[in-house]
Amino acid sequence: MNNNLCNKSIYDVLKERDLIKQITFEEEFKELVSKEKVHVYLGIDPTADSIHIGHFIPLMMLSYFQKCGHTPIILIGGGTAFIGDPSGKTDMRQMLSKEQISKNVDNIIKQVSKFISFEGENAAIIVNNADWILDLNYMDFIRTYGIYFNVNRMLAAECFKQRMEKGLTFFELNYMLMQSHDFLKLFENHNCKVEIGGDDQWSNMLAGVELIRKIHQNGSFCLTCPLLLNSEGKKMGKTVNGALWLDEKKTSPYDFYQYFRNIADSEVYDVLRMLTFLPMDEVKRLSSLQGSDINEAKKIAAFEITKLVHGKEAAILVQNTATALFENNNNSANMPTVEINKNLSGLDNGIYLVDALIACNLVTSKSQARTLIEQGGISVNDLKITDSKYVIDFTDFKDNFVVIKKGKKIFIKLVLN
């Protein structure tokens, strides 16, 4: 997949887009990647059946490495998922069964292939650490590698701080050793010298670099990408229904597009430089637009990101849908559609609006629905509703549907079946 993006070093490409947050042995790394093509790995634990927006930037970084001729390795944490990374967590992660982990692995591999190629001269490699972790003899492992880890330093690591407040288990403390061991295995088996990840992984990644250098006295490196933050300094990607997933069954392409279409003006630059492949000259031009013109930049950002995740055809469809809704008198032809059963509320003449909002995934609870209605945030067929006990009468379903509007920008075509 070397499309010769880089007539310059991958280091320069990442720096231009400000995609490096922290890096080890920076000058040594610059020299390495300017002289040779390397193997670089990103670890993803299959703790869910989809990756989310938090994985997006590391995958973009990995894609840039590949476009510059380096070889990506995706390490699926089928083994470490049995422990669960405690980084940044206040509670212990839920333990998953082998069957759950296996299903999650299959889904994640499909999603990752949208960012990197498994064909060509520097085709990406997939490995699963379950292949070596699940058969480890613990006494052999701890005798061989435990001597390289200082417990005082481990407990001071940023990744453990939040868990320390409630009580870090010894089970979780092993995660740093396991992740470091992963890097060592890839170094020894694939000559992999670089690990990348989100900035919340810095402590774990640093431990892996140190382990390799202690054992082999040879070059290993890690670099983290910045977290994607909104204008309030909080992680982007949180919606009323939870995380912004890359699986269309969990977050529809339309909702995905609309999320980025509705970002704040101040977020345009970061979204364009971090989540699209647009040249930096174009990123700077678009993000410098003023007034209503900045909306064009948001449309381009939403289209480019949706195209990358869901494909060009889906991106065109949702863009046309949004245009029809917001610029062409709320045309319902391509409006997101939800089908519901006539017996949803158990009424003979209609359905409760509260039940309809939950069925449309516009809210997560009846109490949230009632509050939204009473505050004037919901309309049915352009009629604003403030009665939380409102019933949508079956006679309101013209041509078998009604249009529910949340706020100014979210429309759902509700169809009876």
Active site residues: 47, 52, 55, 89, 93, 179, 200, 235, 238-239
Residues 48/103, Cβ–Cβ less than 8 Å = no
Spatial distance between the Cα atoms of 207 and 337, rounded to a whole number of angstroms: 49
Residues 109/103, Cβ–Cβ less than 8 Å = no
Handedness of CA 56, 58, 61, 67 (dihedral sign): negative
Residues 105/78, Cβ–Cβ less than 8 Å = yes
Spatial distance between the Cα atoms of 35 and 33, rounded to a whole number of angstroms: 5
Cα–Cα distance list, 270 to 36, 53, 228 (Å): 30, 14, 8
Nearest of 321, 362, 318 to residue 340 by alpha carbon: 362
Looking up tokens 């647009």 gives: 278
* 358 dihedral zone (left: phi>0; alpha: psi -120 to 50; beta): alpha
Residue 410 — φ and ψ, nearest 5°? -115, 120
How would you classify the pairing of strands 383-385 and 378-380?
antiparallel
> Please, which residues have CB within 8 angstroms of residue 351's CB and are 6 or more apart in sequence?
340, 342, 344, 345, 391, 392
Spatial distance between the Cα atoms of 154 and 350, rounded to a whole number of angstroms: 60
Residues 404/412, Cβ–Cβ less than 8 Å = yes
Residue type, 401: F
HSE (CB half, 13 Å, CA atoms) of 296?
10
Strand intervals (E) in 64-205: 71-76, 125-128, 192-198
Spatial distance between the Cα atoms of 257 and 316, rounded to a whole number of angstroms: 10
Residues 182/192, Cβ–Cβ less than 8 Å = no
Residue 197 — φ and ψ, nearest 5°? 180, 180
Dihedral angle over CA of 156, 162, 164, 166, nearest 10: 170
Spatial distance between the Cα atoms of 342 and 340, rounded to a whole number of angstroms: 6
Handedness of CA 36, 37, 39, 40 (dihedral sign): positive
